[in-house]
């Protein structure tokens, strides 16, 4: 499945013509496939990506393969649906849903460092929400971001997600004083925020 979504990013007139194309023309989300494993291994091994995600660092040598196989099993069980983000056919990150239970799921997303600052994360997260509500028939989606991860929090807020609280993360890898901020959105809220699904 591919979902190319509808959002565009703000362009810089000094960028070359290729970089100035609307992100909706070049970026989409696809079912995670074995062809993505090698690029996933490279991007997920970056300490900067791991710093604000749950990706372990150092990343195991077989980390991408193990993750891919786990996601295949969880997809078959109906507990997760994770998508590869591609730009012009290149794997650039992941987005999707985990912990699917009774129509509720956690949204997660990350983009490899070479592709930061181009609107890809926002575009992919919006596309994932459309898939979640339209095709997976989710009723509610939640997400968490570190309080100092301004970029991710801004994306969640742009999607119409409501801040509902915060909690201590209990992780040694993140600063103890920085909490996780929780956001939520339901089917009706997404429809109102983005002209998304209403049925």
138 in helix, strand or coil? coil
Asked whether the CA dihedral 80, 119, 123, 16 is positive or negative, the reply is negative
Query: What pLDDT is stored for residue 195 in this prediction?
Result: 62
Could you tell me the pTM of the whole model?
0.86
Percent over 90 (pLDDT), the chain: 82
pLDDT tens, residue by residue, 49-85: 999 999 999 999 999 999 999 999 999 999 999 999 9
pLDDT at 25 over 80: no
Strand-pairing partners, residue 98, are 106
Query: What pLDDT is stored for residue 18 in this prediction?
Result: 44
Stretch 189-194: mean pLDDT, rounded? 87
pLDDT band at 114, cuts 50/70/90?
very high
DSSP string, 17-81: TTTTS-HHHHEEEEE--GGGHHHHHHHHT-HHHHTTSS--SSPPTTHHHHHHHHHHHHHHHTS-E
Distance CA 156, CA 122 (A): 8
Tokens 């590869």, residue located: 84
pLDDT band at 4, cuts 50/70/90?
very low
What the chain holds in terms of domains, given with CATH numbers, is 2-194 (3.40.630.30)
Average pLDDT, the chain: 88
Query: What pLDDT is stored for residue 24 in this prediction?
Result: 63
Q: Enumerate residues 6+ apart whose C-beta is below 8 A from 127.
A: 3, 4, 5, 28, 29, 95
Query: What pLDDT is stored for residue 193 in this prediction?
Result: 85
Torsion region of 29: left, alpha or beta (phi above 0 gives left; psi -120 to 50 gives alpha): beta
């Amino acid at each position: 499945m591919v979902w190319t979504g509808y959002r565009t990013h703000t362009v810089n007139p000094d960028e070359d013509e290729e970089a100035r194309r609307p992100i909706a023309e070049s970026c989409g989300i696809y079912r995670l496939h074995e062809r993505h494993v090698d690029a996933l291994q490279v991007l997920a091994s970056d300490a900067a990506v791991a710093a604000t995600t749950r990706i372990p660092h150092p990343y195991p040598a077989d980390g991408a393969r193990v993750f891919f196989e786990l996601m295949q099993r969880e997809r078959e069980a109906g507990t997760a649906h994770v998508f590869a983000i591609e730009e012009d056919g290149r794997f650039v990150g992941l987005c999707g849903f985990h912990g699917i239970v009774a129509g509720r799921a956690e949204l997660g997303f990350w983009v490899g460092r070479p592709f930061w600052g181009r609107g890809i994360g926002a575009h992919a997260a919006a596309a994932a929400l459309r898939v979640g509500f339209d095709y997976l028939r989710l009723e509610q989606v939640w997400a968490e971001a570190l309080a100092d991860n301004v970029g991710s929090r801004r994306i969640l807020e742009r999607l119409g997600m409501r801040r509902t609280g915060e909690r201590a993360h209990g992780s040694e890898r993140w600063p103890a004083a920085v909490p996780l901020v929780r956001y939520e959105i339901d089917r009706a809220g997404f429809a109102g925020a983005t002209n998304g699904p209403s049925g």
